[in-house]
Amino acid sequence: MDVLDLESYIERWSRAHGGYDVRSSRPTLAWLRLAHRCASPLARRRVPPTAVTYTGGVLAVAVGAVAALGGRWPLLAAVLVLVVAVLDGVDGALAEMTDTATAWGRILDQLVDRVGDVAMLVGLWALGAPGPVCAAAAVLTVFDEAVRASAGAEGVVEVGLVSVPERPTRLVLGSLSLLGAGAVPSVAPLVVTGGATAWAVLALAATLQLVVNVRRLLHGLPRNVARADDGDADPTPAEG
């Protein structure tokens, strides 16, 4: 099966993200190269993107369960976080490369991401992080992503909704916290408390940032004005 080469994939990814200049960011470019390399053999074997997404969801749930075992187990949980992160990029790359991206696939990807966020926080709580802090981080994270999704539905391009604690930041915080807890179990509660607190503070900052930016972009405008301006809006509701 023919699949998109790297340059074509990058171009398509850029269009899907509001025309973001991928080559202006070396980390983003490196991430897309990794996703393309991992997705290419799957594309040739016609593996559906949703299979990768579901696999990532199962492993995301396992993060919290493995971390809760304590001792050195959080080290494995940290590795699982990294695997989930890679799969999160691979499923999207696979969908783009095989031209099988769907609206449901995008929603499913977001659902699995939120499961992964909550699972990491459950793992931090199980290792000794304060429950209220973990709960606040979880609620704020889900709220932030809900605001982002709602604004996107009104036509705001994704690149205009970038906030401080994007998912990569949360993955780094979660994996480093689990890594530290597993490397030195005796100070695990202190390490995970620091990680959960940082997560909650960044999520709160994101809430303020997103609400201010979304209000600035959409206040006083009719619904779906961006789509109407593009002439792409279809007044007929999509069938389920």
pLDDT-based confidence at residue 18 (cuts at 50, 70, 90):
low
pLDDT-based confidence at residue 224 (cuts at 50, 70, 90):
low
Alpha carbon separation from 51 to 65, 109, 118 (Å, rounded) = 22, 11, 21
pLDDT over threshold 60, residue 227? no
Domains of the chain: 6-229 (1.20.120.1760)
Q: Could you tell me which residue, 22 or 228, shows the higher pLDDT?
A: 22
What is the amino acid identity at position 150? S
Phi–psi pair at 19, nearest 5 degrees: 80, 20
In the predicted model, what is the mean pLDDT of residues 56-63?
A: 96
Q: What is the pTM of this model?
A: 0.84
SS (H, E, C) the chain: CCCCCHHHHHHHHHHHCCCCCHHHCHHHHHHHHHHHHHHHHHHHCCCCHHHHHHHHHHHHHHHHHHHCCCCCHHHHHHHHHHHHHHHHHHHHHHHHHCCCCCHHHHHHHHHHHHHHHHHHHHHHHHCCCCHHHHHHHHHHHHHHHHHHHHHHHCCCCHHHHCCCCCHHHHHHHHHHHHHHHHHCHHHHHHHHHHHHHHHHHHHHHHHHHHHHHHHHHHCCCCCCHHHHHHCCCCCCCCCC
Length of the chain: 240
pLDDT digits (tens, 9 = 90+) for 80-93: 999 999 999 999 89
Would you state the pLDDT for residue 1?
58
Torsion of CA 84, 89, 92, 94, to 10 degrees: -90
Would you state the pLDDT for residue 37?
93
pLDDT digits (tens, 9 = 90+) for 181-200: 999 999 999 999 999 999 99
Would you state the pLDDT for residue 222?
73
pLDDT-based confidence at residue 228 (cuts at 50, 70, 90):
very low
C-beta neighbour count of 67 within 10 angstroms = 31
